[in-house]
Amino acid sequence: MKHTKSGVEDLKIAYIGGGSRGWAWTLMSDLATAGDLSGTVALYDIDYEAAKWNEIVGKRFTTHPKAKSRFEYKAYESIDEALSGADFVIISILPATFDEMESDVHTPEKYGIYQSVGDTTGPGGIIRALRTVPMIEYIAKKIEENCPEAWVINYTNPMTVIVKTLYSVFPKIKAFGCCHEVFGTQKLLAYMLKTEYGHDKIPLKEIKCNVVGVNHFTWLTEAKYKNIDLFPLYKEFADKYYFEGYNESADDNWMTTDLLCYNRVKFELFRRYGYIAAAGDRHLAEFCEGSWFLKSPEQVKEWKYTLTPVSNRKEGLVKLLEKSRQLREGELEPQIGDSGEEGVQQIRALLGLSEMVTNVNIPNYGQIPNLPIGAVVETNARFTSDTLTPMFAGEIPIEIHPLITRIVGEQELVVKAALERDLEKAFVAFMNDPLVNLTKEDARALFDEMVENTKEYLKEYF
């Protein structure tokens, strides 16, 4: 990496995973607009062919007439080569396949446990964590060996568990986890200001929020626009749309039909606790007692959000693979332009080319004084030259503290269990999960079945 008058040259970004999903293309698109950067994107995936395909796609982006930057895209068969000397590492893997995810999400339905996502918490999130932690452990060690000074950005779920694992394995790692769920809520607040109060075209970044909690169960304890306190406005808004729900227009690039929601869960949580839950309803529901929002598919419908069957994901994958082919073979034109994702902006800020404040997942150094030090939490943080500084976020309010601290404890225990390859300890966390309100016998049977279904990826536990 080399700083020049006009920016940074010879940057090396290692991209781990990404073979089977669209995220990599978003990065390619965003990088193509970053005129002050150039260098290499090293692609590594356990499926080398997938990385190779992305290499071809990457070239199409970087050579596109609209591209302002030049990056070389190169697939590697060896993770060491991909990481060696990297300035940034992006982790975006799929832990196992959608077949395992199918078990995570749908096996618990036999016991009346429905999950709207199944990749973060609940029985599905826990089993997914068990197979993910060893993979991340491996990656963390490789980073320590090959590029200990690199900044590591994780996009993979379960976010909290993964960031905790990175820091547990390599304590000096400079890692953080990124997630756009909070932006969705800021967008909702912007829509509210538009439709209810006539403030049009408010840039998301002007909705100033204080963020606390853990990934996908984040809460806003303050939200302001200029000097307007958005809480009283949101109260009116939540009351007004409580029953019918509010469906912001579907122009978001990350919201497809099956993810649409009417924010009824969000409104309900606000009316109950007085703070703004800041993630999609599908995620929020999974952190609550099962009886509240996930008792049955009918109840989900009443709350006007959706369960996400893994079959949809499988179909989505087919489409992505087809899109990949089209991009590779020139049938489809790469879309160059700012995606709204913040990855490249964060990279620029860490390079000292700008600065920014946004929400990230990192260990708690005290930014949330009433959560344990060292637990991974989500709050705002400031990105400046080679530095990421958490904002002091304050205590989690008493009303929601028990909900969040319970989850924090569960996730800490899951990581501990996984690092020790201890299924019994993992089962303790499993039993404690809010969605797993079963007798011990049933819980055991379910746990065992889910482990059995995914055992190919859990070999180290036996």
For residue 331, count CB atoms less than 10 angstroms from its CB and return exposed for 0-12, middle for 13-18, buried for 19 or more.
exposed
Q: In the window 14-53, what residues touch its own copies (CB under 8 A)? A: none
CB-nearer residue toward its own copies: 85 or 409? 409
Rounded to a whole number of angstroms, the minimum distance from the CB of residue 399 to its own copies is: 6
- State the number of binding residues for its own copies (CB under 8 A): 68
CB-nearer residue toward its own copies: 43 or 362? 362
CB-nearer residue toward its own copies: 28 or 182? 182
Q: Which of 108, 122, 134, 390 is the binder for its own copies (CB under 8 A)?
A: 390
DSSP structural state of residue 207: E
283 given a catalytic annotation? no
Rounded to a whole number of angstroms, the minimum distance from the CB of residue 357 to its own copies is: 7
272 binds its own copies (CB under 8 A): yes
Query: Which amino acid, residue 110?
Result: K
Q: Which of 332, 286, 328, 297 has its CA nearest to residue 435? A: 286
Q: Which of 303, 309, 331 has its CA nearest to residue 242? A: 303
Residue bearing tokens 């959000």: 305
Rounded to a whole number of angstroms, the minimum distance from the CB of residue 161 to its own copies is: 14
The C-alpha atoms of residue 124 and residue 347 are separated, in whole angstroms, by: 32
Q: In the window 220-239, what residues touch its own copies (CB under 8 A)? A: 222, 224-229
263 binds its own copies (CB under 8 A): no
CB-nearer residue toward its own copies: 73 or 262? 262
DSSP helix/strand/coil, 49: helix
Q: Write the interaction track for its own copies spanning residues 394-423; mark x where CB under 8 A is met and - where it is not.
A: x---xx-xxx-xxxxxx-xx--x-------
Rounded to a whole number of angstroms, the minimum distance from the CB of residue 412 to its own copies is: 6
CB under 8 Å to 443, separation ≥6 — which residues?
427, 430, 431, 436
CB-nearer residue toward its own copies: 179 or 207? 207
What tokens appear for 114 in the block? 């429905």
440 binds its own copies (CB under 8 A): yes
**Quick one: CA dihedral 418, 178, 90, 337, positive or negative?**
positive
CA dist 289 → 270, 279, 299, 323 (Å): 16, 17, 13, 39
Q: Which of 202, 233, 391, 445 is the binder for its own copies (CB under 8 A)?
A: 391
For residue 4, count CB atoms less than 10 angstroms from its CB and return exposed for 0-12, middle for 13-18, buried for 19 or more.
exposed
Q: Which of 33, 40, 308, 432 is the binder for its own copies (CB under 8 A)?
A: 432
Q: Write the interaction track for its own copies spanning residues 171-210; mark x where CB under 8 A is met and - where it is not.
A: -----------------------------------x-x-x
Could you write out the DSSP letters of every residue in 309-358? Answer: -HHHHHHHHHHHHHHHHHHHTTSS----S--S--HHHHHHHHTTS--EEE
Q: Give me the catalytic one of 106, 180, 216, 283.
A: 180
The C-alpha atoms of residue 92 and residue 394 are separated, in whole angstroms, by: 30
For residue 396, count CB atoms less than 10 angstroms from its CB and return exposed for 0-12, middle for 13-18, buried for 19 or more.
buried
Q: Write the interaction track for its own copies spanning residues 312-351; mark x where CB under 8 A is met and - where it is not.
A: --------------------------------------xx
Residues belonging to the active site: 180
Judged by the rule CB under 8 A, the positions of this chain that interact with its own copies are 1, 3, 8, 206, 208, 210, 222, 224-229, 268, 272-273, 289-292, 295, 299, 350-353, 355, 357, 365-367, 369-370, 372, 380, 382, 384-387, 389-394, 398-399, 401-403, 405-410, 412-413, 416, 425, 428, 431-432, 437-440
